[in-house]
Structure 1
Amino acid sequence: MSPKRERLMVPEAEFSSYYGRPILKAPVWKVPDVPAYLYLGGLAGVSASLAALADATGRPELRRTGRVAAAAGATASVGFLVHDLGRPERFLHMLRVLKPTSPLSVGSWILAPFGALAGAAAASEVTGIAAGPGRLAGAAAGLLGPALTTYTAVLIADTAVPGWHEAHRELPFVFAGSAMAAGGGVGLLARDGGPARRVAVAGAALELAASAVVERRDRLSARAYRTGRAGAALRVARAATAAGGLAAAAGALTRGRSRALLDGAAALLLNAGSVATRYGVFEAGMATARDPAYTVVPQRARLNARDEGQPATRTGPTSASRSSARSRTES
């Protein structure tokens, strides 16, 4: 005869914080400044790398498109960052020292030289002046491009925000795929953009796969990526990225005006998907910072597992604690 389950005499406690105040202080980053900064940095980094490879393989139109996109993206990215900081000198203060243990310090030292090099390469490309130094600047910007595409994922994951920190293994892949899709999409506008097509399709596939992993992980913070404004934005991102990737792939099978139309649609859809992805990730993290359940539930699950002598996971809550917080986190 199986033992009877004990009946709870009181309802399970509702997870809240002291006097209803959030446990974590949510970042003061603003919209659209920070999501735009995340998107434009990735676009600029991939465009610079594509331009450098195009220069090495004799594709002048793709090189020109990539250099101009890299310079424009880096300039706009710095502009949004400075606007979020409030005063331009705050960005300059971050360049006074290089602190290898700080993703923000390292990122500032990636973004600043990248912007200068990308700007010099684009100026040389447009004016035709100093082609040799412009080529060297473009090659150097291309080398910095991969770091620029992913350091922002490290930057937000290196925080106490549950939705970002708990996804620190997946977010670099999400951001890399999103950047490849956006930069490759812009490269499709060049007539000799064959390599950009492959980058765009591969980036779309990587972004979709990595985002699916983030949303399906067995941890409470994954719910923030499926619900609310973040969930809506990420659903739009998936649809746009998938459609853009298919349009880019279909463009390889056509010629003339049909290819131009498909490539234009792919460029628009892939970049719209990249914007929505960055916004969705941003909103998911902010939602977990505002709701105490995303901090309390995993902590209690780890404590309970330790008390029961079970191996404690870093973030995975028990099924009981997850169900008790479900109504709160879905509201």
Structure 2
Amino acid sequence: MDHSYHKGRLKWIPVSQTHYWQVNVNRVITIIQNVINAKPFDQQYLVPCSTINSLPSIIFTINGNKYPVPAQAYIWKEPMDCSCEEVLLCKPSHTTAYTAEPMRLGHCTHNLFNPQLSTTLRFSGQSFNLGYGAGRIVGITAYNIVWIMNLINLGQAFVLSQKQNGLVDAIFDGVLGLGHPSLTAKRIIPVSDNLKTRGVISKPVFAFYLSTKKENGSMVMFGEVDHSYHQGEPKWILVSRTNYWQITTNRITMVGVILGCSRSCQAIMDTGTALLLGPTRVITMIQNLTKDRPFDQQYLVPCSDINSLLSIIFTVNGNEYPVPTQATSRRLGANPGG
């Protein structure tokens, strides 16, 4: 026996029945579900993920010795493995209509919503067919309660996706629209607007923080800005057209070269895309400056050059916003070295 795999002296327990590895247990902490305040759901019991670290251990006493089992070991978190990313999800205690088991669609495991298990959902009868840059969703619209932390929005319209093309391999289970109401499909009022109209939040503000680091994670905020997610004073930019989150950009430069907008131009802020889109002439200039090599309808740069490439600088309201090359380049998964 390799003793490097345990601490202290080994404790031996006699087997009480040789048919199994069966031992006599003196006592076990009972009424676990009541103690941890677990809520019943579809033959399971759920607890909020945020409470797991504060829950007590279950202690097995055998031969007079106590063997604690922490909550992290006796509560199961739903795994979702997608695109080489490990994301641990736990069913929220307020959710009443997840299926008992997640379903694997494409290469990803997704939590599915079962409307038949919801007592608060109302169908509108409207069909829905919308194309995204990365795919298409076909479904029906419905109304239900949306619960975001301590914010409750009654009667929020949303779409139940019945068919999806191109989105099943995404690491997310759904899409939360933050667009302007005038552009929404079926004139559905977005969550952020409903929260303000109904007085749930005091300010007509939402903000987001996007991170590629798992330990930090991304964040969306409603009603106010969490200033711990930025440095310095926030700079406010007027929307030049209310149909989009559209702003006026003074110029776009890289290594001192003006790429575009020499006399100002219009740009759209969009969290719904992972791409930086622009006119062919501007994108071609960027590719020339970064010495990209064309390959299979893409342009490649050696990974070893990424950190030495200069940022693309967007000048808005006289303020410069640099976008580093690490944010405009995607590392190919097939070759981690470059």
TM-score range, shorter chain: under 0.3
Higher relative contact order (CA 8 A, sep 6+): 1
TM-score w.r.t. structure 2 length? 0.23
Q: Which is richer in helix?
A: 1
Q: Which is richer in strand?
A: 2
